[in-house]
């Protein structure tokens, strides 16, 4: 067995493609037959990106797709972003935009969750990645391609774990058992099979601000998730986009979000879909504040006036009918939510 250590440094939330090129070359020259990624979503995605480009180069270089082989990977996660269970990988192109590749062969062949290893992850990074897991769970609920069983049922169960365990972890960061249980909660939040496509608006905004401004995925969820859920609820009250029951914020989305209420400790449903969805938004904002993660775009040098460009990247359509309303939503993200009620 030959082991080729490689350290990736000098980047933020996603691997820049110029950095991955020498990695691809180094793996090819080493003759390695497996990739081991230790860390958060960035190194795990880096291993996927390397495997993807190696396969494409081999297939293009004369082996053909039938003969070209995928190099497998093993993931040892140290955050709760759950990159280890998906077939997707993202990296940053030369112009700062996010580039995604996907293939079922990119899913790591083995995943090792170890709460003791996770103790080495800085607390702010760990907790913010857990808000990313919460983002997965809540946006899966209203994702039209996500099946009820097992995906949405697991996502609902993860809410109880995340809302219960995160305050415990914040209070006692050196409890390896709590971190181990959070790994399982994060896994349940994004059971990755049987659905496809983007998760939802919070993820879209997160990708738009993360790649362009070097903000980690976890922090993007701290910025966007609570406000997106509140936006969905308020739009449902109005009847959806443009005064009709169409567009972003349909009544059906609020119904799905409201399903989270019984799974969040301390919340009691009102029987009103919009009010219950607003309770969920308030609970998310309260948790973010309680964990010391309240922040806004201004804290990351995002200048006022950039909300339209962010929105276009998030919606991927400069003529989207909800462009104006989503841009208004993004404008509220320059500052942290200061009025969130901490219920937890």
Kindly state whether residues 181 and 97 are assigned to the same domain: no
In this model, does residue 181 exceed pLDDT 60?
Answer: yes
Q: Is residue 343 part of a domain?
A: no
What pLDDT, on a 0 to 100 scale, did the predictor assign at position 11?
42
96 and 242 fall within a common domain = no
pLDDT tens, position by position, 25-55? 889 898 899 999 999 998 999 999 999 999 9
Please report the sign of the dihedral spanned by the C-alpha atoms of residue 290, residue 292, residue 293, residue 299. Answer: positive
Is 107 in the same domain as 226?
no
Quick one: pLDDT band at residue 342, thresholds 50, 70, 90? very low
Residue 14 has pLDDT above 60, yes or no: no
Q: Can you tell me the mean pLDDT for 67-77? A: 92
Which pLDDT score, from 0 to 100, does residue 256 have?
97
Question: Over pLDDT 90: what percentage of the chain?
Answer: 71
339 is a domain residue = no
Q: What is the pTM of this model?
A: 0.90
Mean pLDDT of the chain: 89
Q: With bands split at pLDDT 50, 70 and 90, how would you rate the model's confidence at 343?
A: very low
Average pLDDT of span 218-232 = 98
- 107 lies in some domain: yes
Q: How much is the pLDDT for 81?
A: 92
Read off the pLDDT of each residue in 315-336 and give the average, rounded to a whole number.
96
108, 123: one domain: no
Last residue of a domain, one of 90, 112, 134: 112
Q: What is the mean pLDDT of residues 170-183?
A: 99
Question: Would you state the structure tokens that stand for residue 225, as one six-digit string?
Answer: 């998730």
Q: What is the mean pLDDT of residues 169-177?
A: 99
Q: What is the reported pLDDT for 211?
A: 84
- Where in the sequence is the domain holding 33, given as residue range(s)? 15-112
Q: What is the CATH number of the domain that holds 287?
A: 1.20.1090.10
| Interval 113-126: pLDDT, tens | 999 999 999 999 99
Instruction: Tell me: do 214 and 291 sit in the same domain.
Output: yes
pLDDT at 19: 59
Number of domains in the chain: 2
Rounded Cα distance between 43 and 37, Å, is 6
Q: Which parts of the chain fold into alpha helices (H)?
A: 17-30, 41-58, 64-67, 115-118, 123-141, 153-171, 176-189, 201-213, 217-238, 251-258, 273-290, 307-315, 323-331
Residues 58 and 102 in one domain: yes
Asked whether residue 6 is domain-assigned, the answer is: no
| CA–CA distance, 120 with 123 (Å, rounded to integer) | 9
- φ, ψ of residue 82 to 5 degrees: the values are 65, 35
Residue 91 has pLDDT above 60, yes or no: yes
**43 and 28 inside one domain:** yes
């Amino acid at each position: 067995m030959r082991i080729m250590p490689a350290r990736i440094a000098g980047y933020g939330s996603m691997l820049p493609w110029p950095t991955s090129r020498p990695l691809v070359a180094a793996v090819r020259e080493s003759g390695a037959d497996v990739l081991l990624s230790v860390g958060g979503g960035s190194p795990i995605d880096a291993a996927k990106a390397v495997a993807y480009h190696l396969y494409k180069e081999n297939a293009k270089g004369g082996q053909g797709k039938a003969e070209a082989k995928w190099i497998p990977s093993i993931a040892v996660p140290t955050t709760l972003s759950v990159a280890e269970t998906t077939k997707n990988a993202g990296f940053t192109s030369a112009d700062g935009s996010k580039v995604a590749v996907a293939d079922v062969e990119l899913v790591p062949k083995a995943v090792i969750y170890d709460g003791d290893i996770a103790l080495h992850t800085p607390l702010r990074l760990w907790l913010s990645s857990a808000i990313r897991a919460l983002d997965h769970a809540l946006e899966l609920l209203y994702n039209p391609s996500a099946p009820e069983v097992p995906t949405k049922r697991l996502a609902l169960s993860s809410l109880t774990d995340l809302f219960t365990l995160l305050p415990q972890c914040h209070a006692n960061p050196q409890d390896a058992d709590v971190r181990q249980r959070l790994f399982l909660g994060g896994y349940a939040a994004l059971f990755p099979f049987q659905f496809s496509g983007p998760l939802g608006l919070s993820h879209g905004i997160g990708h738009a601000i993360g790649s362009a401004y070097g903000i980690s995925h976890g922090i993007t969820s701290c910025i966007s998730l609570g406000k997106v859920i509140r936006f969905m609820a308020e739009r449902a009250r109005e009847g959806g986009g443009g005064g009709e029951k169409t567009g972003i914020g349909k009544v059906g989305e609020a119904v799905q979000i409201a399903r989270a209420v019984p799974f969040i400790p301390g919340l009691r449903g009102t029987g009103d879909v919009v009010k219950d969805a607003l309770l969920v938004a308030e609970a998310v904002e309260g948790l973010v504040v309680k964990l010391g993660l309240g922040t806004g775009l201004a804290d990351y040098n995002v200048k006022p006036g950039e909300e339209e460009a962010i929105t276009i990247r998030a919606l991927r359509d400069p003529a989207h009918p909800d462009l104006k309303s989503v841009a208004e939503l993004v404008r509220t993200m320059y500052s942290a939510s200061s009025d969130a009620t901490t219920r937890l």
